[in-house]
Amino acid sequence: MLAAFIAIGSLGLIAGLGLAIASKIFYVYVDPKVVEIEEALPGANCGGCGYPGCSGSAAAIAAGQAPPNVCVASGPDVHKKIAAILGVEVKESEPDIARPGCYYGVEHADLKYIYNGIKDCRAAMLLNGGSKVCPIGCLGLGTCVRACPFGALSMGPDNLPVVDPELCTGCGTCERICPRHIITLTSNSRRIQREYTLDECTAPCQRACPAGIDIPLYIQAIREGNYLEAVRVIKETNPFPLVCGRICVQPCEAVCRRNLVDEPVAINNLKRFAADYEMDSGQRVQIPRAPSTDKKIAVVGGGAEGLTAAYYLNRLGNDVVLYEASQHLGGLLRVGLPENRLPKKVLDWEIEGILEAGVETKLENKLGRDVTVSSLLKQGFSAVLIATGGWDTHIAQKSPDTAGKPLPGVGLLIDFILSQQDGSRFDLGDYVMIVGGGKAAVQAARACIDAGVKAVYVVYRGSQEKVGLAAPEIEEAKNKGIQFIFRSALYRMSGEDEKLTHVEVAKVGRDDKDVSKQKVLVDTLLLGAGRFPELIYVPRSSGQLPEHEAPGGESVLWETVVPYAGPSATEELGIFRPGEVKSDYRAVVEAIGSGRRAANSVHRYLSGRAVEPPSNMIRKYTSVLNLYQIDPIPSTPRHKMPELPIEQRILDPDAEIALGYSEEHALEESRRCLRCGLICYRRPEAGSQN
């Protein structure tokens, strides 16, 4: 009996030791924080967050790989509870919603390919090189519908996905699973910051619009009789539909595919019709404002560009104060156009809408006289955006008290040359850099040397041959101490308070991520373009650095950020890029587009993101699929804009000449739109006029 007890006890001891050793070897640590987070989650295991169930989501949240509000199946209370577990704060975020980006399903294709046995878009993409009808269009097999965890998608009669906005949570499952990226998440902020890319189905008119308006979408809204929705679509990228509807140069109509049939769609007249409807109805359309970013931004310049930038910065959740030198907002829109082309009441209506959105203004505050970049940064602004307009604005606003250097250490080459002629004082300092200016820059550089400047740098974006400087001329200038930097652009400026200290120049034509830079000591920068550039001034490092004391208090160290290049630019690096507008009067729509991109650049910088456009952004020089013939499309005449009779113009010279479309004409004109994509268009039924 004793032997049996000993044997059993020994076996138990051995088993216990074995289990103890095994527990040490195979022990799995369970993070109590992960467990706590998983218990807070609803347990739906829907996968809408992009992780494998709630356990995977909890692990990602605890590891900092996902935010506390990543769960789309729960609400704010759950998000706050998870944030409390992590010891962080959850901020309100703008809701996303899925939106298809294809206009015509395979049912409209003349030649159809049937993928026998293939019922998944991802598999069809791998079969013999993918679809044959459209290189980016929807395959219509419904993979996104089956993948949606909330039943928010269905396939419409045209074999395109349809989104139910009431059920869509913005989880992004459809976006992740679609091999063509036909469905993408969108929001007001995303659309404000949107730039057209090669992987989207875009129409020629969209790509030609400097403001980036989704033209086919607002024309469709007009065709459906939803005029205020048309205005909302326009205002996502252009807050001046009334103004542009009257004075836009209409580059969109020049590329309209109806030109291949008869005449272009009256895109601009339709824009005006919708905008006039909004004003006459008294129902102000505003793009909803994103949750507050707690950032305060100063915009200098109350013309079209500055007002546009201020509006979209506000809509992106920032607090904005707009500084304008004159007594009125509007810039050249107010002082450069006659009443019969742009009535003041029209301009005032548009500006009132921007102010009603929450943009604060300070009039009669001139940069360099009443406020400075450093004084604004010292007031606590996170950034100062310069949008003072083109050369024509400066000519129109020229006055005896115009400051020679409204920006720290930055002046215009033309002002320096004029000062040499009239003998007025122009403080240069010891180190001068001249950017652009052709041969006049060399003459000015010699004058700087004669004035006792220690060193002068002349920077040209082009090569020596392109600038047109002869070798002996260059050699003579070098002997005087002038240094030339060719094929380069201004990349960044930095300084302290109202002093410019350094300028970085970079070689153009290279990858912006691996650009060759040269930092130069500079006291004065003279610009040959005859205008001040759009620049973003931000505090260096943590902001106001109390390392240097100044008479007015703590000094501020600053640096500049250049807004990303727009579609018209043929080069992406630096300021004054080739192709970009130098004047306000050339086209207000270009100033509007520039203002929106400047606002996006500020917002991206302050959000910690790179200030750059999408790598596949469509530019003027980008090769895109196009059509050179459309057949058969019945010819329908374009509705002309009704105008005030000559005799009435004589009686009232200030009366507006263009009268605008009637609703009947607007509806008929909207039906002329072919609703183009990259290469697709609707083939009308026999006898149809659309």
**Span 377-387, pLDDT tens digits:** 999 999 999 99
Q: List, in sequence order, the alpha helices (H) in 588-678.
A: 588-606, 646-651, 663-670
Write the pLDDT tens digit of every residue in 447-457.
Answer: 889 888 899 99
Please give the biggest Cα pair distance in the chain: 130
Question: How many residues can be counted in the chain?
Answer: 690
More confident residue, 334 or 516: 334
In whole angstroms, what is the distance from residue 214 CA to residue 237 CA?
8
pLDDT band at 111 (very low <50, low <70, confident <90, very high): low
Judged against a pLDDT cut of 70, whether residue 334 lies above it is answered with yes
How many C-beta atoms surround the C-beta of residue 339 within 10 A? Answer: 14
pTM of the model: 0.86
Predicted pLDDT of residue 269: 96
CA nearest neighbour of 500 among 436, 380, 405, 367: 405
Highest mean pLDDT among 83-92, 237-246, 412-421 belongs to 237-246
Q: Calculate the CA 143 to chain-centre distance.
A: 31
At the top level of CATH, the class of 189-288+625-690 is mainly alpha
Options 2.60.40.1180, 3.40.50.720, 3.40.50.970, 3.30.70.20; CATH for 97-186 is 3.30.70.20
**What are the residue boundaries of the structural domains of the chain, listed by start?**
2-86, 97-186, 189-288+625-690, 291-399+534-547+577-617, 408-531
Strand 97-100 to 183-186 pairing = antiparallel
Mean pLDDT score across all residues of the chain = 84
Write the pLDDT tens digit of every residue in 614-625.
Answer: 888 998 888 887
Predicted pLDDT of residue 582: 60
The answer to whether 101 and 66 have CB atoms below 8 angstroms apart is: no
**3-7, 296-300, 424-428, 514-518: least confidently modelled range:** 3-7
- Give the domain 408-531 fold: FAD/NAD(P)-binding domain (3.50.50)
More confident residue, 621 or 278: 278
**377-386, 387-396, 546-555: least confidently modelled range:** 546-555
Please state, in angstroms and as integers, the Cα–Cα distance from residue 51 to each residue in 56, 144, 592, following that order. Answer: 5, 17, 41
In whole angstroms, what is the distance from residue 690 CA to residue 219 CA?
13
Identical fold between 97-186 and 408-531: no
Region for residue 102 given its phi and psi (left: phi exceeds 0; alpha: psi -120 to 50; beta: otherwise): beta
Region for residue 543 given its phi and psi (left: phi exceeds 0; alpha: psi -120 to 50; beta: otherwise): left
Give backbone dihedrals phi and psi of 433, rounded to 5 degrees, phi first.
-125, 135
Tell me: cis bond preceding 632? Omega within 30 of 0 counts: yes
Judged against a pLDDT cut of 80, whether residue 278 lies above it is answered with yes
Predicted pLDDT of residue 373: 94
Judged against a pLDDT cut of 80, whether residue 66 lies above it is answered with no
What is the enclosing helix (H) or strand (E) of 126? helix 121-126
3-class secondary structure per residue, 91-122: CCCCCCEEEECCCCCHHHCCCCCCCCCCCCHH
The answer to whether 550 and 378 have CB atoms below 8 angstroms apart is: no
**18-22, 91-95, 379-383: least confidently modelled range:** 18-22
**171-180, 316-325, 484-493, 539-548: least confidently modelled range:** 539-548
In degrees, to the nearest 5, what angle opens at C-alpha 581 toward C-alphas 577 and 587? Answer: 160
Written as one letter, the residue type at 532 is F
Q: What percent of the chain has pLDDT over 70?
A: 85
pLDDT band at 544 (very low <50, low <70, confident <90, very high): very low
Please state, in angstroms and as integers, the Cα–Cα distance from residue 268 to each residue in 213, 234, 243, 244, 272, following that order. Answer: 11, 11, 10, 8, 6
- CB-based contacts of 140: which residues, under 8 Å, 6+ apart? 105, 106, 107, 155, 159, 160
The answer to whether 566 and 594 have CB atoms below 8 angstroms apart is: yes
In this prediction, residues 234-242 reach a mean pLDDT of 96
In whole angstroms, what is the distance from residue 624 CA to residue 2 CA?
93
In whole angstroms, what is the distance from residue 55 CA to residue 38 CA?
6
- Supply 419's token pair: 């000062």
The answer to whether 457 and 519 have CB atoms below 8 angstroms apart is: no
pLDDT band at 532 (very low <50, low <70, confident <90, very high): confident
How many C-beta atoms surround the C-beta of residue 137 within 10 A? Answer: 24
In this prediction, residues 10-33 reach a mean pLDDT of 66
Judged against a pLDDT cut of 60, whether residue 302 lies above it is answered with yes
What is the enclosing helix (H) or strand (E) of 269? helix 267-281
In whole angstroms, what is the distance from residue 265 CA to residue 379 CA?
49
In whole angstroms, what is the distance from residue 614 CA to residue 193 CA?
11
Judged against a pLDDT cut of 90, whether residue 632 lies above it is answered with no
More confident residue, 512 or 358: 358
First-last CA distance in the chain: 102
Judged against a pLDDT cut of 50, whether residue 108 lies above it is answered with yes
Q: Calculate the CA 646 to chain-centre distance.
A: 43
pLDDT band at 547 (very low <50, low <70, confident <90, very high): very low
What is the enclosing helix (H) or strand (E) of 557? strand 557-561
The answer to whether 29 and 53 have CB atoms below 8 angstroms apart is: no
Options 1.10.1530.10, 3.40.50.620, 1.10.1740.10, 1.10.15.40; CATH for 2-86 is 1.10.15.40
Q: Say whether 318 sits in a helix, a strand or coil.
A: coil
Predicted pLDDT of residue 1: 63
- Supply 585's token pair: 């009067």
Predicted pLDDT of residue 543: 40
- Domain 291-399+534-547+577-617 grouped into CATH 2.40.50.100: no
Judged against a pLDDT cut of 50, whether residue 92 lies above it is answered with yes
With residues binned 3-state (H G I as helix, E B as strand, rest as coil), the percentages for the chain, rounded to 5, are 35, 15, 50
Predicted pLDDT of residue 689: 43
Judged against a pLDDT cut of 50, whether residue 282 lies above it is answered with yes
More confident residue, 88 or 370: 370
Highest mean pLDDT among 57-66, 126-135, 306-315, 485-494 belongs to 306-315
Predicted pLDDT of residue 39: 75
Written as one letter, the residue type at 78 is V
pLDDT band at 572 (very low <50, low <70, confident <90, very high): confident
In whole angstroms, what is the distance from residue 152 CA to residue 167 CA?
5
What is the enclosing helix (H) or strand (E) of 361? strand 360-362
In whole angstroms, what is the distance from residue 504 CA to residue 637 CA?
55
The H helix count followed by the E strand count for the chain is: 26, 20
Judged against a pLDDT cut of 50, whether residue 458 lies above it is answered with yes
Q: Say whether 438 sits in a helix, a strand or coil.
A: helix
In this prediction, residues 27-36 reach a mean pLDDT of 68
Judged against a pLDDT cut of 80, whether residue 184 lies above it is answered with yes
